[in-house]
Amino acid sequence: MTAMCIASSLGTGLPATLAALRSGSSGLLPCRFETVDLPTYLGEVPGLDDWRLDPAFARYDCRNNRLARLALAQDGFEPAIHAAKARYGASRIGVFLGTSTSGMLQTEQAWRRRDADGRLPDDFDYAGTQSIFSIADFVTATLEVSGPALVVSSACASTTKVFATAARMIETGMCDAAIVGGADSLCLTTLYGFNALQLLATGPCRPFDAERDGLSIGEAAGFALLERADQRSRAALPAGVLVLGVGESSDAHHMSAPRADGAGAKLSMSRALLAAGLGPARIDAINLHGTATRIGDAAEDQAVVSLFGEATPCSSTKGHTGHTLGASGIVEAVIAALSISENFIPGSPHTMARDPDLRCCYVTAPRPARIDRVLSNSFGFGGSNASLILGRTE
């Protein structure tokens, strides 16, 4: 990973994100989003409502693409892409992104403005905003790259699975470098949908807490530049983070609930270890999916303990950012990379009393530690699972 950028409820950019993680701050606030009237907390990105796209990209103007653009403007990411184009050429840089709802809010707002015959307004551009491919179309145009591009929409595993896609595309010679990541923004369909499933917490979410009562929805965007670890890219490597392995699995168990025994999660993690050529003892910390639902945390705990035992430090950062759904993979990959480069384990804001029935070594407060390898989990509805292992280059 030669460059990365992020925007979430913790703020925009890596410095703001790192400061919040170190201090244990949370971006979750009482819901005041749009017309939503629900007793819950959200991770809304500050200042996003004031962000505007360049007029040249007007057809892509929706909350999701504005969020993506806000992230791309952070952390020197665009200059890093320009340097990569000089190394490889624009046609050799692929774009592999993830999202779950894309520009859904734009469609919801257009629906309110339909005419007496039920027709959507003429200014609604489905392909530019709501289409799942919209974000890849927008990012390739913004960064002026022309390699292969696709979007993965696999619920909350989306932006972890793109790391595997990018690795395969680079290994097969389809491209020399890849932009991975994506965005998921707040919309009414998501909020009322999770409320209908009775999964929303009434306060800030409390992963692995004995009194946890559900998740907090957030929004975020993040991107990373992946390059072969060869002579052309080594000069560009900053502190140094390598993608060591990615594992994927599918429960095919239930539309919205994981297998209670965590079998799909365990298989995903096992495959990531196999791809990285590592045994469980080589992992220094685990970033849990940890959404704070009763069944989800319990299933992941069972999977982690059965594979790693009870000593490997684990934590969930959902109490910082909320569950950013399709963007959670890239957000937590960036956090995992910061754990490696900055040598610390993030804590778990709002988790007060750890559930005594859960056995993993759950970390509630941020603490310093030498971290060489992190495994990060992303598990989505429908049993779509992905696990990513990042490691230090030194």
User: What is the three-class DSSP state of 54?
Assistant: coil
Q: Check which CATH number belongs to the domain holding 135 and give it.
A: 3.40.47.10
Residue 202, C-beta contacts closer than 8 angstroms, at least 6 positions apart = 39, 40, 213, 214
Long-range contacts of 161-165 (CB under 8 A, 24+ apart): 161/98, 161/246, 161/248, 161/329, 161/378, 161/384, 161/386, 162/96, 162/97, 162/98, 162/329, 162/330, 163/226, 163/243, 163/246, 163/329, 163/333, 163/386, 163/388, 164/246, 164/248, 164/386, 165/96
User: Active-site positions?
Assistant: 156, 289, 323
Distance CA 75, CA 334 (A): 12
Q: What residues make up the domain containing 61?
A: 3-392
Task: For 306-324, write each residue's pLDDT tens digit.
Answer: 999 999 999 999 999 999 9
Residue 224 has pLDDT above 90, yes or no: yes
290 three-state secondary structure: coil
pLDDT value, residue 394: 67
Q: What is the pLDDT of residues 61-117, one digit of tens each?
A: 999 999 999 999 999 999 999 999 999 999 999 999 999 999 999 999 999 999 999
Q: Cα separation of 322 and 345, whole Å?
A: 18
User: Nearest to residue 251, comparing CAs of 295, 207, 217?
Assistant: 295
> Pairing mode, if any, of strands 220-227 and 3-8?
antiparallel
Q: Which residues contact 89 (CB under 8 A, 6 or more apart)?
A: none
Neighbours of 390 (CB within 10 A): 26
Does position 232 have pLDDT exceeding 60, yes or no?
no
Q: How far apart are CA 238 and CA 228, in angstroms?
A: 14
d(CA 26, CA 341): 21
Is residue 218 within 8 A of residue 43, CB to CB? The reply is yes
pLDDT more than 90, % of the chain: 91
Query: What does the pLDDT average to over 278-286?
Result: 98
Q: Where does residue 56 rank: exposed (0-12), middle (13-18), buried (19+ CB within 10 A)?
A: exposed
H/E stretch holding 341? helix 328-342
Task: Calculate the CA dihedral of residues 142, 143, 145, 149 and round it to 10 degrees.
Answer: -70
Q: Would the pTM of this model clear 0.75, i.e. be above it?
A: yes
Q: How many domains does the chain have?
A: 1
Distances in Å between the Cα of 57 and the Cα atoms of 67, 179, 287 are 14, 20, 36
pLDDT tens string 156-202: 999 999 999 999 999 999 999 999 999 999 999 999 999 999 999 99
